[in-house]
Amino acid sequence: MKNRFKSLGNVLLKAEHLVVIVCCTAMVLLVFANVLMRYVFKISFQGMEDLIMLFAFGIYFIGAALSSKDETQITADVMSLFIKSPRFLTLLRSFQHIVDAVLIGICAVFSTQQMLFVLGEGSRTSGLKLPVWVIYTVILVGLFLMAFYALFHSVEYFRQFIHFHDDKKEGQA
């Protein structure tokens, strides 16, 4: 069962990487095509910005989920200056990730409400008339992944806290 979850996690991680790579590539190609069409051929493609925005949200939110998974997001951690015990630092990390998950969850609730609103309204982008709910879906997927990774890290740090083994104390005994 554990191997099944691990392989599912690897598939999810590869899918996230693929989405970010596809979004980055598509954005670069779309911006290049837009510049080429506008300045070389003197024509404008209405709605190019809609596609660029969709891929940008993919980069931002799926990239943020990957950053949450790797714990490479920007943090402002002042408490670690005051807490010197490695064991209690793991407890602090667990608590920080719980707070992250709750705040991300609140954002996900608001984003879900907004998506349901635009879905009910049938809102579309101005250029290509793409359904706006597609963009909110990308945002929601990113938010749910970030919350999932925050909870995962919280559990891992709490597990480390419970089973903490201080090598310094053993060396002194």
pLDDT digits (tens, 9 = 90+) for 3-52: 777 788 888 889 999 999 999 999 999 999 988 988 888 888 888 888 89
How many whole angstroms separate alpha carbon 137 and alpha carbon 153?
24
pTM of full prediction above 0.85: no
Instruction: Give the single-character DSSP code of 163.
Output: T
**Under 8 Å between Cβ of 14 and 42:** no
Of 102, 136, 103, residue with least CA distance to 119: 136
Phi, psi values for residue 152, rounded to 5°: -60, -50
Residue that has been written with the tokens 């954005």 in this structure: 27
> Could you give the residue ranges of the DSSP H alpha helices within 71-166?
79-82, 86-121, 132-162
